[in-house]
């Protein structure tokens, strides 16, 4: 009988340790989820490498402005080969086409959902009004 009691004590001790381990794992998983979230990673990176972010943002802004704003009429005095102007124009046209398609798809989906929700609320109001 002493053996059964010892086995029961060991079993209950192991179950208690298992419960404590589950609680510890849950706590650590929650902390890891907070630490590994994209916002937390970006915030830490921005704090550590502020000048790199500033430089990257400035370069990206300059490239964005360069691509979006049309060049002045410089075909006669630019000195660049016409091929580069053509490749740049082709790339900008391709990017604008992709951006236009994405914006149109997003706007049509958003507008459709908004209109559907609006019409549903109007129809629900009409159903509730006593005539």
Task: Note the pLDDT tens digit of each residue in 24-55.
Answer: 999 999 888 888 888 888 888 888 989 999 99
For position 73, what pLDDT does the model report?
46
Rounded CA separation 104/117 (Å): 20
- The answer to whether 85 and 75 have CB atoms below 8 angstroms apart is yes
pTM of the model: 0.35
CA Rg value for the chain: 31
For position 95, what pLDDT does the model report?
83
Rounded CA separation 83/65 (Å): 21
């Amino acid at each position: 009988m002493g053996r059964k009691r010892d086995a029961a004590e060991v079993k209950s001790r192991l179950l208690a340790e298992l419960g404590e381990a589950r609680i510890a794992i849950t706590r650590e998983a929650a902390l890891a989820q907070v630490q590994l979230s994209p916002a937390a990673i970006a915030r830490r990176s921005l704090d550590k490498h502020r000048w790199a972010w500033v430089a990257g943002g400035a370069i990206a802004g300059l490239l964005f402005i360069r691509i979006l704003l049309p060049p002045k009429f410089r075909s006669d005095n630019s000195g660049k080969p016409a091929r580069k102007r053509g490749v740049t124009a082709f790339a900008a046209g391709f990017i604008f086409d992709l951006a236009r398609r994405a914006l149109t798809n997003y706007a049509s989906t958003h507008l459709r959902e908004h209109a559907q929700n609006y019409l549903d609320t109007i129809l629900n109001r009409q159903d509730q009004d006593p005539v």
